[in-house]
Amino acid sequence: MKDQKLQNLYDVVALAEKHHFPVIVGTEMNSPGNKFVDSFATAELQPLVPVFLRGAHIVYAHSVLQRQAGLGYLSAWATKTFPTVAAKSGFFEKLGRELQPATEDRLHGLTAETT
């Protein structure tokens, strides 16, 4: 059963990656201590850590841009600006990697006309 669950996880992540969708992870504290889903250092999850980090960076950038300027991942600006999901996810991932909490307010006041 565990092998099938693991394969299902890998298959879903591969499908999300194929379509450039961010993968968001978390256990919601369903079963604390369940290493299969609680520890990214396990042999099962370690190969997926880069995908998980990419999703975290995308969500972080989305949250900051939405809060500071209304220009989140699903905004009209993002739809107009990025011709593909890959381009949009790439932008938000890069921004999420480079943003620092102490300087988030620098994005306040950006508008949909900003390039």
Residue with the larger pLDDT of the pair 99 and 41? 99
Q: Are 40 and 10 in contact (CB under 8 A)?
A: no
Sequence-distant contacts of 77-82: CB under 8 A, at least 24 apart: 77/112, 80/112
Share of the chain above pLDDT 90, in %: 67
pLDDT of 39 reads 76
C-alpha distances (whole Å) from 78 to each of 59, 81, 97 are 14, 5, 18
For residue 102, is pLDDT > 70? Answer: yes
Q: Which two tokens stand for residue 88?
A: 């949009």
What are the tens digits of pLDDT across the range 37-90?
Answer: 667 888 888 999 999 999 999 999 999 999 999 999 999 999 999 999 999 999
Can you read off the two tokens belonging to residue 12?
Answer: 């879903």
Residue 31 has pLDDT above 70, yes or no: no
Question: What pLDDT does residue 113 have?
Answer: 87
pLDDT of residue 51: 96
Q: How far apart are CA 61 and CA 99, in angstroms?
A: 7
Backbone angles phi, psi at 37, to 5 degrees: -115, -10
